[in-house]
Amino acid sequence: MSKPFYITTPLYYVNDEPHIGHAYTTVLADVLARYHRLFGDDVHFLTGTDEHGQKVDASARKLGRTPQEHCDITTQAFIDVWTKLGIDYSDFIRTTQPRHKKVVTEILQQIYDQGDIYQKEYEGWYSVFEEQFFTEKDLVDGKDPIGHRPVELIKETNYFFKMSKYQDWLLKHYETNPDAIVPSFRRNEVLGFLREPLNDLCISRPKSRLSWGIEIPWDSDYVTYVWFDALLNYYSATVSPPEGMSVNWPAQYHLIGKDILTTHAVYWPTMLKAAGLEPPERILAHGWWMSKDATKMSKSTGNVIKPLDMADKYGTDPFRYYVMRDMVVGQDANFSEEHVVKRLNSDLANDLGNLLNRITKLLTQHFDGIIPEVVWDEEDPLIELSRATTHKVKQLIEDIQIHAAIEETLQFVRAINRDITEAAPWTTVKTDKEQAGRDLARAAESLRIAAILLNPIMPKMIPEVLTRLGLDGFHSRTWDDVDWSDILAGKKAVHGDPLFPRHRKPGDQEEKNKPKSEPKKKNKAEKAKPEADDSQISFEQFKQVDLRTAVVLEAEPIEDTDKLMKLKIDLGSEQRQLVAGIKQHYTVEEIIGKTIIVVANLQPAKIRGVKSQGMLLAVHDGDELRLLTPSAPVSPGKRVS
Ligand code: MSP
């Protein structure tokens, strides 16, 4: 029987527009859900919106809407963003749905009947923003301890849940289940909190102050506190899931941000315990996306990245790739557009996209696109590496180390690229076509496996990668499909425009338009140096020449010239175009795949109207010209010294 994998995101407040924080948790849940579907688990993925409370009520009034109308409109904004970002949720719950309200009402009544809810007069500091009461000692400089916003002293009679009654049980639960909260430093935070006296929880609001909520079943003067209402969604969604689906409590994973840890790790399990239900198996608290100046991105600080702006600019799958690759789950990360471009150019354009292009181009050029049938050599390092990679990726995903699982897969992609470079099928095809075909088939099969491993991250683009390898998109549903196979034999590969184009650095355009700086005048110290022999240079001067290894990716003779060829080279961190006078000495096939040495910091120039960003090193011997190349394989971008 397949393992249950019920995963949830927080329910997002509808008075906020969807932003990077919401998008991150939801993409993370989607990625985990997709990997676990691939592992063959029985996945149920729940997300939704948190619609009651004072803030929603106030926003609706301001806009002249009823709260329900307001919620219907704002919830749609979340649904639209999730559709655009390729979020494949099983269920979308709204706290205003009757299926949810019914469960909240029943559980409240049950807990009240068993004597775990009582009424008392209470005075406390209330934050409208957090919709929470704080005690005097919770406050920091007279403000709420979470968002540092104003609080007001409110005295009113309310209903209280006997949370303190379940404190010892909860402490023991976390002590005996070390994995119940991850990362472990968050668990320690909660343990520390639970070792202090725990207050009871105020679970009602008088209607005279706030009416937009679920009515307390035994007292129509009150509505339910938003958190007591919203947290129950995770359970109420299991009571009435969408038609044709079934899901059992408890959840395997609640994904949350670190700011809502106490509500999830303290309030929620005690509520469940009182209701006679199991606690969730695991709570995972992730960090925050911060802006470059290390402040949290949020609506109130005005530095929000709207996920759709970035997704529109760079594509939704590349956006998913960036947020999964650049955040270590649990820790904070800085979001910057520059980082986005760097990451997409290096991993997607240079590594993955380049590999796909090389394979499909050579297959179509020399084999009519047909992937040769090959008898595999079980000792093949690519086969061994593919097995090691799939094994590690599964382990890392189970440990929620998404960034590391991606890196593991990309290391594999880089190894396939290196393998092709060394095998040089563009050369061997002329003397040993069978060998060239075998090397391309090995590379294609390796890429197929890497692509399936990346599908949960980029579920729209990876099917296209697989289609270009002659398959019917992402046909794979089981983990067996990531094993080395013969599935590509005889399939027809298709070459097309690059799927993962390079992006320009933000602000690059402006840089180019800047006037060139004046040549530097010698300063006094330099002038004072003894004049050197004109033919000699100092070591400092030599060090200024940035010599690097590069791999030739593409070559094309420049028409109407005798000598010139246009090359596209891989410099490790970027791709560039060079113009070189090698046309009479090398054919296109001979030069593609060669590792050459280039001067990487030469000012760009135009040669016969064609841009050249660097110069390659070669040596003339009589009529012959020979390129300088390393004597053994070297990765692109390495400094030559
Ligand atoms: N409605 C409550 C949750 C109720 S769950 C029963 C809520 N909603 S929220 O819309 O304010 O926030 C939802 C999530 O977004 C939280 O997990 C929060 O951590 C996350 N983020 C908000 N800003 C964030 C970043 N800048 N970075 C990462 N996530 C952050 O809280």
Query: Which of 134, 195, 167, 120 minimizes the C-alpha distance to 274?
Result: 167
Task: Work out the average pLDDT over 248-257.
Answer: 98
Those residues whose C-beta lies under 8 Å from the C-beta of residue 146, and which sit 6 or more positions away, are 127, 130, 132, 259
> Cβ(628)–Cβ(597) under 8 Å?
yes
Kindly state if the Cβ of 22 falls inside 6 Å of ligand 1: yes
- Specify the pLDDT at position 402: 97
Those residues whose C-beta lies under 8 Å from the C-beta of residue 23, and which sit 6 or more positions away, are 81, 85, 307, 323
- The string of pLDDT tens digits covering residues 294-330 is 566 665 555 666 667 888 899 999 999 999 999 999 9
One-letter amino acid of 80: D
> What is the Å distance from ligand 1's center to 603 Cα?
47
- Specify the pLDDT at position 535: 52
- Candidates 14, 22, 298: which one to mutate for ligand 1, based on the most atoms within 8 Å of Cβ? 22
- The string of pLDDT tens digits covering residues 462-514 is 999 999 999 988 775 789 899 999 999 999 999 999 999 999 888 775 444 44
Q: Hey, is 464 helix, strand or coil?
A: helix
The residue nearest atom 8 of ligand 1, judged by CA position, is 12
Q: How far apart are CA 126 and CA 133, in angstroms?
A: 4
Sign of torsion over alpha carbons 223, 227, 230, 235: negative
- Specify the pLDDT at position 561: 80
> Cβ(287)–Cβ(330) under 8 Å?
yes
> Cβ(36)–Cβ(6) under 8 Å?
no
> What is the Å distance from ligand 1's center to 150 Cα?
20
> What is the Å distance from ligand 1's center to 10 Cα?
7
- Candidates 74, 229, 260: which one to mutate for ligand 1, based on the most atoms within 8 Å of Cβ? 260
Architecture of the 4-286 domain: 3-Layer(aba) Sandwich (3.40)
Those residues whose C-beta lies under 8 Å from the C-beta of residue 6, and which sit 6 or more positions away, are 43, 44, 46, 238, 247, 248, 249, 250, 251, 252, 253
> What is the Å distance from ligand 1's center to 304 Cα?
13
- Specify the pLDDT at position 529: 39
Kindly state if the Cβ of 500 falls inside 6 Å of ligand 1: no
- What element of type H or E holds 569? strand 565-570
- Candidates 50, 59, 305: which one to mutate for ligand 1, based on the most atoms within 8 Å of Cβ? 50
Q: What's the mean pLDDT when you consider all of the chain?
A: 90
How big is the chain, counted in residues? 641
- Candidates 12, 132, 236, 305: which one to mutate for ligand 1, based on the most atoms within 8 Å of Cβ? 12
Q: Which atom of ligand 1 is nearest to the CA of 259?
A: 19
Residue 628 has pLDDT above 70, yes or no: yes
Q: What angle do CA 337, 341, 344 make, to 5 degrees?
A: 135
The residue nearest atom 12 of ligand 1, judged by CA position, is 12
Query: Which of 605, 603, 595, 607 minimizes the C-alpha distance to 571?
Result: 595
Kindly state if the Cβ of 53 falls inside 6 Å of ligand 1: no
- Specify the pLDDT at position 517: 44
The residue nearest atom 21 of ligand 1, judged by CA position, is 21
> Cβ(118)–Cβ(52) under 8 Å?
no
Query: What percentage of the chain exceeds 90 in pLDDT?
Result: 69
- Specify the pLDDT at position 526: 40
Kindly state if the Cβ of 259 falls inside 6 Å of ligand 1: yes
Cross-strand bridge partners of residue 618? 627
> What is the Å distance from ligand 1's center to 595 Cα?
48
Q: Where are the domains of the chain?
A: 4-286, 334-482, 539-627
Q: How far apart are CA 241 and CA 611, in angstroms?
A: 60
| Residue 523 pLDDT grade (very low, low, confident, very high; cuts 50, 70, 90) | very low
Instruction: For domain 539-627, give the fold.
Output: OB fold (Dihydrolipoamide Acetyltransferase, E2P) (2.40.50)
> What is the Å distance from ligand 1's center to 256 Cα?
7
- Specify the pLDDT at position 304: 65
Residue 534 has pLDDT above 50, yes or no: no
The torsion angles phi and psi of 125, rounded to 5 degrees, stand at -90, 120
| Residue 427 pLDDT grade (very low, low, confident, very high; cuts 50, 70, 90) | very high
- Candidates 7, 8, 11, 47: which one to mutate for ligand 1, based on the most atoms within 8 Å of Cβ? 11
Task: Work out the average pLDDT over 14-26.
Answer: 91
The residue nearest atom 6 of ligand 1, judged by CA position, is 231
Q: Which residues of 60-80 are buried (b: 16+ CB within 10 A; e: fewer)?
A: beeeeeebeebbeebbebbbe
> What is the Å distance from ligand 1's center to 22 Cα?
6
| Residue 293 pLDDT grade (very low, low, confident, very high; cuts 50, 70, 90) | low
At which residue do the structure tokens 């270009």 appear? Answer: 468
- Specify the pLDDT at position 514: 45
Instruction: Output the six-digit token pair for 119.
Output: 């009424």
Q: How far apart are CA 438 and CA 435, in angstroms?
A: 5
Kindly state if the Cβ of 289 falls inside 6 Å of ligand 1: yes
What residue spans of 298-424 are helical by DSSP H?
307-314, 316-325, 337-343, 354-367, 381-398, 402-423
Query: Which of 497, 594, 598, 484 minimizes the C-alpha distance to 549?
Result: 598
User: Is the preceding peptide bond at 280 cis, omega within 30 degrees of 0?
Assistant: no
- The string of pLDDT tens digits covering residues 74-124 is 999 999 999 999 999 999 999 999 999 999 999 999 999 999 999 999 888
One-letter amino acid of 18: P
Query: What percentage of the chain exceeds 70 in pLDDT?
Result: 92
- The string of pLDDT tens digits covering residues 444-474 is 999 999 999 999 999 999 999 999 999 988 7
The residue nearest atom 24 of ligand 1, judged by CA position, is 21
Instruction: Output the six-digit token pair for 121.
Output: 């007069």
- Specify the pLDDT at position 297: 64
What residue spans of 39-166 are helical by DSSP H?
54-62, 67-84, 98-113
- Which is more confidently placed, 312 or 355? 355
- Specify the pLDDT at position 294: 59
- The string of pLDDT tens digits covering residues 584-623 is 888 777 788 888 999 998 888 888 888 899 999 998 876 7
Q: Does domain 334-482 have CATH number 3.40.1390.20?
A: no
Q: Which atom of ligand 1 is nearest to the CA of 258?
A: 19
Cross-strand bridge partners of residue 551? 570, 595
- Specify the pLDDT at position 533: 42
